[in-house]
Amino acid sequence: MTPALELQPAPGAAPVSRMIAAQAAAETRSLLRNGEQLLLTLIIPLLLLAAFSLEPLVSFGGGISRIDFMTPGVMALAVMSTAFTSQAIATGFERRYGVLKRLGATPLSRGGLITAKTTTVIAVELLQVVLIVVVGLIIGWRPHASLAAIVVVPLLIALGTAAFSGLALAMAGALRAEATLAAANLVYIVLLGVGGVIFPLTKFPAGARHFFELLPTGALSTGLRSVLAYHVQFPVGNAVTLLVWAVAMIAVAARVFRWE
């Protein structure tokens, strides 16, 4: 065999893991370079945490201080910002500009693309949670949690991520980019108000409160707060609610998502 032939690359696609890693790296770079998405995913949750936690530390939302109430809620908001709003808008415009259509012509499968996007979301969420915890501790947050929180908190965040990601991909796959942009922002604002992030759900009438607790933001914020503020070992009801949302939204996304 001649040296020229020895330098020829082997035919065939790269391993699936390598394709997913390359696509995830590209997705992460694109997200971090986008000022609007960076504002939505990183800066807004931190601003809300700092601004709404500057009030005097009085009993709030069930006998806990304002900062103890806000920190778990802002974690839930960060998950929604990244896994739902940011991902829905970005994916919707990727469809509009033909990015997904071109990716569909590559060896990267639909499952590989979703895995890469999920990997990017998880990486950004890790950064968000670290920043929220650091800022919260500086402001005065002191979690009241058991050792089980080390496992339970990531589990709740993972379930919330799956639920919001499925909803984002379903919306971006079924609607036009402009409609996705409007709908994602509207849902974000509504869930910010009724999702137990900055206002306790006990402020609402009983019937509305029970309904809001069944929404993904309400279930995630309530579950995180139960673990981190009320020393609950495992919030079964909130975890089941998030699991149902995750399964349902992923199933819908798999049915309606289109490359073009």
pLDDT, one tens digit per residue, over 120-146 is: 888 888 889 999 999 999 988 989 898
pLDDT band at 26 (very low <50, low <70, confident <90, very high): confident
pTM: 0.84
The mean per-residue pLDDT over the stretch 8-24 comes to 69
pLDDT band at 57 (very low <50, low <70, confident <90, very high): very low
Task: Spell out the alpha helix ranges (H) of the chain.
Answer: 3-6, 16-33, 35-38, 44-52, 66-79, 87-96, 99-104, 110-139, 149-174, 177-194, 206-213, 216-229, 236-256
**pLDDT surpassing 70 at residue 2:** no
pLDDT tens sequence across 153-195: 999 999 999 999 989 988 988 888 899 999 999 999 999 889 9
- Give the three-state DSSP class for 60: strand
**pLDDT surpassing 80 at residue 105:** no
The mean per-residue pLDDT over the stretch 80-87 comes to 90
Query: What residues contact residue 183 under an 8 Å CB cut-off, 6+ apart?
Result: 88, 171, 175
Q: Tell me the pLDDT of the chain averaged across its residues.
A: 83
pLDDT tens sequence across 195-239: 988 888 888 888 898 999 999 999 999 999 999 999 899 999 999
